Amino acid sequence: MSDSAPPPPPHDPNRPQQPPAAGPDPSSPPPGQPAQPAQPPPGQSARPRSSGASGMTGDQMKSTFQNAHKYDLGIIGAGLLAFFLSFFPYYTVSIDGPGGFGNDISASAWEGFLSWFAVLLAVAGAVILVLNLLKVALPVPVRLTVLGLFAAALLFTLIAFFVTPGGDGCGGVQACEDAVDIGRGFGFWAVLIVIVGGLALSVMRKDSTD
């Protein structure tokens, strides 16, 4: 009897080959230890900076407004000023009482539809321009829309000069109408001026090439 090893079995070409056993992943933690979070590449912060809806960071937004065209900043300022000034006395009523006694009453632009709607139109023009500067996609032609909103705001403001909310309250009584003097206060004239300014800047910005 021979002591030599038995010959290997013949190779079967139809038999599937067994893949070599995979060793442990060198990047995986040792057994019993939790996985470590992925580290950011060198030079990058692990915590991303906050960004707005347009995807711009705070520094980018600041740089955008610093480098914005002066006409754009003026238009935005006009819309904001119109909103702020609308809370000043817009409508005024002076009543002459008997014996020289009287009463003065005032109301803001938010007491009448024409006046507050005009203010909101100016604010809307400013907001659309801000969104455009922040690279937010808008479904309207920005320059023409801003111009149209300020033009409409001016129209409603001029109509508000002739129309008083609730009328004079006298019901056609002549003695009452003689004693009541309805006018416009500082708020009206200030809003009118800033809307005219915003409209003028909108026209110049629309025609500018820079």
Distance of alpha carbon 128 from alpha carbon 124, whole angstroms: 6
Distance of alpha carbon 90 from alpha carbon 84, whole angstroms: 12
Q: DSSP assignment of 165-187, as one string? A: TTTTSSTT-HHHHHHEEEEE-HH
Tokens for 80, please give them: 């904001």
> Could you report the per-residue pLDDT of 4-39, keeping only the tens digit for each?
556 666 655 566 555 555 555 555 656 666 556 556
pTM of the model: 0.69
Pairing of strands 102-107, 180-184: unpaired
> Could you report the per-residue pLDDT of 38-82, keeping only the tens digit for each?
565 655 554 444 444 556 777 888 888 888 889 999 999 999 999
